[in-house]
A and B are shown apart, each in its own frame.
Chain A
Amino acid sequence: MSSHREAPEISKDPVADSTDVYAFVSPDNPDTVTLIANYVPLQDPAGGPNFYEFGDDVLYEIHVDNNGDAVADISYQFRFQTKLTTPSSFLYNTGPISSLSDPNWNSKQFYSVTQVDRSGAHVLASDLACPPCNVGVLSTPDYEAKLGQPAVHSLGNDMQVFAGQRAEEFYVDLGSIFDLGNLRPIQELNVFAKAAGLAAMPGVNATNGLNVHSIAIQVPISALTISGHPTIGVWTTASRQRARVFDGADNIFSGPWTQVSRLGNPLINEVIIPLGEKDHWNRSQPVHDKQFATYYAHPELAALLPVLYPFLSPGKPVFPDLAALVKAGTARADLEAILLTGIPSGLIPGFTNYTGAVQADMLRLNTKIPPTSTSAKNYSILGLIGGDPAGFPNGRRVADDVVTIELRAVAGVVYNLIDPKYVPDAAIADVSDFLPVGSATITNGPLPAFPYLGVPYDGYDQKF
């Protein structure tokens, strides 16, 4: 998945497990950028009685580099605090929850927002209310109007913030793709699926009906960028204090914050970084990503695709050009540009999100590129490779099909930007876990306005 349970250590620590990062020019407020970091993956909406929440003992941050050195110039920090209304009850709520201050809601969570920049640390707000989890029709009726939207808080200066449960909008055929790299729509070509006699079939969105916990903040572009540098680099981190002692009812947390999770571009620690390096990657900072560059330049997945999908028909390979690229040991400068430096100007007419020579895994957003209306002809959830410069890898919008984009990129769809003589394999057009592209089932889709992520699925109506 994008970054859900992607590394051994963090898979055991869900509240600190970053799952997705989004950064885009806000379509309904294009003078601003919206930054979203999701945590607490794969939430079963019926997961009571202790429903999901952020970690009170975790420091969540969203970082912005605005001068291309891959070091945070502005960081937004989020700290949470849980308060029990009725500690003597085992219930999450003792009646319907009709507002964020409803005494029927037993386990409330509040948070502070602090901006750290060149001038120091500034607490932007504190004691902001999170919404409750969407328990069900009896406990959380009229969820979005009474609980979801009221949890959107203004921070002044054209900034707003939200932190709480949302519908999972990242879509992937998880059950198939991690079953020996199988893509159901073309599984008749997968060497293992073919042996099992499986015919092509539509993909299944494994995350449909699940929730996440989102931190979303909307900030004026002018507050994030500096003159001459319209492209920002964005990533999120979660940190814990270095020492923890289980001491009866009062756990002791002590020492400096140490990073345990990070996420910039989707799917990187998931499928680019090898298993033995994943925990190290999570503890590392983007500015030191040169140490991982070889995995971007020579991705294991690129070598696997021609093996897993050998032949269209006898003697006719699926990925002959990709296989030749791999066999030659060619460093994938295309992937390094997309994921580690941004795309320099001159490769794609009118487009760049290059931030400089420093190789760093950040989500790069050129804020000068206006949002593309979903009704526009060039709108595409395939983003840049679909002809839409407002989508991934120029930042990432909620609806972008990052699995297909990255699968096709790894398969070489844009390698001809580096070598004009290279002809991408024709089969790349069918590389996706959902065909036609955009056919993934998403019951609670994105919202048109902040916080953009959909209404969380409720436990009562879940359909498993």
Chain B
Amino acid sequence: MPSQDATRASAEPAAASTESGRLSRRSMLRGAAAAGAAGLAVTAMGAAASPALAATSQPSAQDSPQSHAGPIVVHVRDAKSGDITVFSGTSEVRLHDTALAARIARAAG
């Protein structure tokens, strides 16, 4: 594990970028927070994606919708550039997908 001091020090600017898959002080904090919340009320919902998004999804076998127990929230930051943030659990993933962003934008009217 990298020095938590070093990773924590860089957490702030990193917070605005993709944080998935990185064993860091911040990810540890997220995990710990989730562990601390074990047993707390959890909103049990299926994927919250719109029908339009669901229609465009082509998940691989290892990335099936069923692997997500909780809700997924999608934030299209900029439809033109395809800048999308996907929130799930206590993590987020930043995507750049102009086609997906365009479909969501059309679904939004």
Contact = CB atoms under 8 A, between A and B. Distances in A.
B36 A284 contact: no
Interface string B80-109: 000000011111100000000000000000
B63 interface: no
Contacts of A287: 8-9, 12
A120 interface: yes
A243 B39 CA distance: 21
Interface in B18-46: 19, 25-26, 28-33, 35-41, 43, 45
B92 A256 contact: yes
A75 interface: yes
A258 B15 contact: yes
A368 interface: no
Given A72-B8, A75-B29, A81 B40 contact: yes
A77 to B, nearest CB: 6
A115 to B, nearest CB: 9
B90 A116 contact: no
A254 B29 contact: no
A173 to B, nearest CB: 36
Contacts of B29: 61, 75, 77, 116, 121, 257
Contacts of B8: 71-72, 285, 287
A67 B29 CA distance: 19
A113 B37 CA distance: 10
B53 interface: no
Given A69-B9, A81-B40, A250 B73 contact: no
Given A243-B75, A252-B48, A114 B35 contact: yes
A121 B32 contact: yes
A305 to B, nearest CB: 34
Given A79-B40, A81-B40, A255-B87, A118 B19 contact: no
Contacts of B11: 285
A322 to B, nearest CB: 35
A254 B88 contact: yes
A112 interface: yes
Nearest to A127: B39
A81 B30 contact: no
A123 interface: yes
**Most-contacted residue by chain B among A56, A121, A247 (CB, 10 A):** A121
B43 A252 contact: yes
Contacts of A239: 33
Q: Provide the main secondary structure of the chain A interface.
A: strand
Contacts of B48: 245, 247, 252
Given A79-B36, A81-B41, A258-B15, A120 B28 contact: yes
Interface size class of B (residues with CB under 8 A): 35 or more
B90 A257 contact: yes
B32 A251 contact: no
B71 interface: yes
Interface in A51-66: 56, 59, 61
A242 interface: yes
B4 interface: yes
B97 to A, nearest CB: 18
Interface in A256-302: 256-258, 284-285, 287-288
A118 B6 CA distance: 12
Contacts of A79: 33, 36-37, 40
Given A69-B5, A77-B29, A252-B71, A126 B36 contact: yes
B36 A257 contact: no
Given A69-B9, A118-B4, A252-B71, A77 B38 contact: no
A425 interface: no
Given A75-B29, A77-B33, A255 B73 contact: yes
A126 B40 CA distance: 11
B70 interface: yes
Contacts of A253: 43
A217 to B, nearest CB: 14
A285 B12 contact: yes
A44 interface: no
A274 B32 CA distance: 34
B32 A256 contact: no
A14 B59 CA distance: 41
Contacts of A118: 4
Nearest to A288: B12
Contacts of A126: 36, 38-39
Contacts of B45: 247, 250, 252
8 contacts: A59-B33, A75-B29, A112-B38, A114-B33, A121-B28, A255-B90, A256-B91, A287-B8
Given A126-B38, A258-B15, 9 more contacts: A71-B5, A71-B8, A73-B5, A79-B36, A81-B41, A121-B35, A123-B35, A256-B92, A287-B12
Q: Which 3 A-B pairs have the closest CB atoms?
A: A121-B32, A255-B87, A254-B87
